[in-house]
């Protein structure tokens, strides 16, 4: 069964992208002529999502105007103008705008290009991979040699059976978290309403052997600073030329 709803985490301040983010929110920074968040929204739409909650804070009015015009799905706003709730708290609040069901969770500022034409998309493959009886969450992951703009940090180790653990120096099969999750919304039913980092849930799932990862297709892109923009646009241009 396809997953038709998503939560997009888009409320961050984007401080490392200053001065660009002195006048606009990071998710609206244009990359190759397209707002950063639209890469994530398009990936969700391509995977069959019809409704998404998106949290807003920094330049929230700009975000709302842009999201109202997005044509490919219904978007509801999770308003964090008064106070940021961090990744965990923001997810908890946003999920209340969706149905109790399987859900994609995506960061608005991390995306990829170069999926294989005619095959299941990365998000569809992640949905196929997720098994609630064995997993709390399934994370989309990428080897570090297929990242652009990344700081070199290795997030997890991926075991042969797909289980993830925190990366330890010298460990086998290091991967980077690619910013997309499949989970059932009930996982957060007892989560606190105040700000907290979603890493708490990653670590709890690791402790129970219930955090799994799937390697994505294509090239993963992050744009953390203005200096990272040209590299991102070069990768996108090459991907378009090769398509």
**Domain coverage including residue 137:** 5-242
Give the tokens for residue 22.
């002195």
Per-residue pLDDT tens digits for 110-162: 999 999 888 999 999 999 999 999 999 999 999 999 999 888 889 999 999 99
User: Taking a C-beta distance cutoff of 8 angstroms, is the pair 205, 138 a contact?
Assistant: no
Here the tokens at position 101 are 């069901």
Q: Give the span between the Cα atoms of 197 and 152, in whole angstroms.
A: 21
* pLDDT given for residue 14 in this prediction: 85
- pLDDT, one tens digit per residue, over 18-65 is 999 999 999 999 999 999 999 999 999 999 999 999 999 999 999 999
193-208 confidence digits (pLDDT tens): 889 999 999 999 999 9
The yes-or-no verdict on residue 1 having pLDDT over 80 is: no
Contact (Cβ atoms closer than 8 angstroms) between residue 30 and residue 74: no
Task: Answer yes or no: is pLDDT of 243 > 80.
Answer: no
CATH of the domain at 148: 3.90.550.10
Torsion of Cα atoms, 177 then 144 then 26 then 28, to 10°: -100
Q: Are 146 and 114 in contact (CB under 8 A)?
A: no
Domain count across the chain:
1
């Amino acid at each position: 069964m396809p997953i038709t709803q998503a939560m997009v985490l888009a409320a961050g301040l984007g401080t490392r992208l200053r001065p660009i983010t002195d006048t606009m929110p990071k998710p609206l920074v244009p990359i190759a002529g397209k707002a950063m968040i639209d890469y994530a929204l398009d990936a969700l739409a391509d995977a069959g999502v019809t409704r998404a909650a998106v949290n807003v804070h920094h330049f929230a009015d700009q975000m709302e105007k842009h999201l109202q015009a997005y044509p490919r799905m219904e978007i509801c706003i999770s308003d964090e103008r008064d106070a940021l709730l961090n990744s965990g708290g923001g997810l908890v609040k946003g999920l209340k705008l969706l149905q109790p069901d399987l859900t994609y969770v995506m960061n608005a500022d991390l995306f990829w290009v170069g999926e294989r034409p005619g095959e299941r998309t990365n998000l569809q493959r992640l949905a196929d991979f997720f098994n609630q009886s064995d997993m709390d969450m399934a994370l989309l992951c990428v080897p570090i040699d297929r990242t652009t703009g990344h700081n070199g940090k290795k997030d997890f180790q991926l075991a042969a059976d797909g289980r993830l653990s925190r990366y330890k120096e010298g460990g086998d099969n290091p991967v980077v978290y690619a910013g997309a999750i499949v989970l059932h919304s009930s996982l957060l039913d007892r989560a606190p309403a105040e700000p907290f980092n979603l890493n708490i849930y990653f670590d709890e799932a690791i402790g129970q052997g219930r955090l799994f990862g799937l390697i994505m297709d294509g090239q993963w892109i992050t744009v953390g600073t203005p200096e990272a923009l040209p590299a991102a646009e070069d990768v996108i241009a090459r991907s378009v030329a090769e398509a």
